[in-house]
Structure 1
Amino acid sequence: MPAVSISLRVLAGAIISILTVSGCQTLDDAGRVIGRADLVNDLAARLDRSTELTYSADYQLPGGQHASISQSQDPLRAAYTYPGGKLTVTTDATTACDTTTRKPTCTLTAPPPANAKPSITIFADMNKRGLVTPPVVVGLLTSAALDPDATIRQYDTTVAGRHATCVEVDQLSDAPAVGFDACITSEGALGSFTGTVDGTELEVALSRYRDAVQSDAFDLPAGAGLVDRRAEAGQPPA
């Protein structure tokens, strides 16, 4: 696959469904004929609905590194922990923390508008440091569904003991990734992702999933220095 490292070799033996290529159709579990775009759109919608879940997910990254995603609904908030950083999104602030130094630094900016999802740009740093997030993958799946030149192969597998539907996408003409391999669990969580996004090779695999969140999941790193920039956007500090 050009410009993309697809290395989910552990999934190779789990492929149980036929290839779905441009112009072809396959059958879903209910026997309904679905097209290439329908399949990818369904996965994108499933992953996008994960924002409505309360869950914690741990991920294995290359080199023995780890990342995690935690999300709760009451109150609505999310936290992403990855090598060298942590991002929390709450109704009070979007807080990006740099943990590469002895004393972590956290920068607070305005939260997303009410009833709006965070801008995908806030996840760019995570892409560079090894963690691809559900919003980024949703965008890639949407691009694949709209691209008539994309080649899409679908298969099912099990990730961290959970069923997942996967797509291997190649030859994207207008997206941050030329190609990628992504698996979405039945719950709607990101099961795995392999590909090169914005020039960074990413390989993420779910290692543990829980329908609960620990109370300290949204805490900032201990001893972190705070830089509050919410006033720059017209929002007074909380």
Structure 2
Amino acid sequence: MPAASTTLRMLAVSVIASLTVTGCQTFEDAGSAMGRSDLVNDLAARLDRALELTYSADYQLPGGQTAAIVQAQDPARSAYTYPGGRLTVTPDAVTRCTATNGRMACTLVAPPTPGSKPTVALFTEANRQGLVTPPVVVGLLTAAALDPQAVIRQSDTTVAGHHAACVEVQRSDGDFSACVTTEGVLGSFLGSVDGKPMELALSGYSETVEKNAFDPPAGAGVVDRRPGGS
């Protein structure tokens, strides 16, 4: 097993151990002051609010691969880098880049409606390549909160030096665990998305963003398919 995957699995085991041994409780436990859906709703809201933050986050994926999420505000911009490609969302365009024969090829399409948040559909390719994005995790948490049959356990942990609240969710359509840092950044995820096993862990976090973080990669071929584009 590659060392990076082993590290991720050790993190997942550590989180699950804390869920099942230290402080574990289902929300149906008698005397619990928190409703069964309160924590998952809180984590979903925390991730959603984080879309308004400026930060750079690096992630470790299985097999030694890496990914990154970068966000900035005024105007709101985001970039998701994953093995073999990158997705960038700005007020000017949605840019999808894919590595082809060792070179990035990027396509620009019209941006989301001003003032709207990116839809989950935007992140299909990122998910397919191993980067489960915060909007997708928000959807999973929201579905768990609405499922009366879901078993939800909670714990706290530290990921890349940042405190995080975690949940382990057991549902008929698939189990997952997720941690969200105090800042609202996705700290870790272990589970399946659209039938694909997903596993990542935060490895670095900064409240700064590089100036060219939202530009197409250097040397990339660019095709502009926006209305009026060339």
Which of these residues, 192, 198, 221, is aligned with residue 225 of structure 1?
Answer: 221
Aligned residue runs from structure 1 range 174-189, under 5 A: 178-189=174-185
Aligned-partner Cα distance in 2 for 1:105–1:186:
36
CA contact (8 A) 1:24 1:36 kept: no
Aligned residue runs from structure 1 range 97-116, under 5 A: 97-116=97-116
SS in 2 for 1:152: strand
Instruction: Give 1:202's aligned residue.
Output: 198
44-53 vs 101-110, greater mean Cα deviation = 101-110
Query: In the superposition, relative to structure 1, how do residues 14 and 150 fare at CA in structure 2: closer, same or farther (>3 Å)?
Result: closer
2:12 is the counterpart of 1:20: no
Q: CA deviation at 1:212?
A: 1.0
Aligned residue runs from structure 1 range 149-164, under 5 A: 149-164=149-164
Q: CA deviation at 1:14?
A: 4.3
Instruction: Give 1:237's aligned residue.
Output: 229
Corresponding letter in the other structure for 1:82: Y
Corresponding letter in the other structure for 1:72: A
**Identity across matched positions, percent:** 58
Query: In the superposition, relative to structure 1, how do residues 100 and 155 fare at CA in structure 2: closer, same or farther (>3 Å)?
Result: farther
Instruction: Give 1:3's aligned residue.
Output: none
Q: CA deviation at 1:126?
A: 1.0
Query: In the superposition, relative to structure 1, how do residues 35 and 100 fare at CA in structure 2: closer, same or farther (>3 Å)?
Result: farther
Which of these residues, 7, 13, 18, is aligned with residue 9 of structure 1?
Answer: 13
Aligned-partner Cα distance in 1 for 2:53–2:177:
23
Aligned-partner Cα distance in 2 for 1:100–1:34:
50
Corresponding letter in the other structure for 1:145: A
Query: In the superposition, relative to structure 1, how do residues 66 and 18 fare at CA in structure 2: closer, same or farther (>3 Å)?
Result: same
Corresponding letter in the other structure for 1:9: V
Aligned residue runs from structure 1 range 122-201, under 5 A: 122-173=122-173, 178-201=174-197
Q: CA deviation at 1:225?
A: 1.3
CA contact (8 A) 1:147 1:172 kept: no
Q: CA deviation at 1:26?
A: 7.0
Q: CA deviation at 1:13?
A: 5.2
Instruction: Give 2:5's aligned residue.
Output: none
After the TM superposition, list the runs of 4 or more consecutive aligned residues in structure 1 that deviate by more than 6 angstroms. Answer: none
Corresponding letter in the other structure for 2:139: G
Aligned residue runs from structure 1 range 23-62, under 5 A: 23-24=28-29, 33-62=33-62
Q: CA deviation at 1:59?
A: 0.2
Q: CA deviation at 1:102?
A: 2.2
The alignment of Structure 1 onto Structure 2 pairs a total of residues equal to 219
Corresponding letter in the other structure for 2:29: C
Normalised to the residue count of structure 1, the TM-score between the two structures is 0.87
Query: In the superposition, relative to structure 1, how do residues 225 and 197 fare at CA in structure 2: closer, same or farther (>3 Å)?
Result: same
Corresponding letter in the other structure for 1:87: L
Output one character per residue of 1:201-223: Cα deviation in whole Å (capped at 9) or x when no partner.
11010001111111122121221
CA contact (8 A) 1:160 1:208 kept: yes
Corresponding letter in the other structure for 1:59: Y
51-60 vs 6-15, greater mean Cα deviation = 6-15
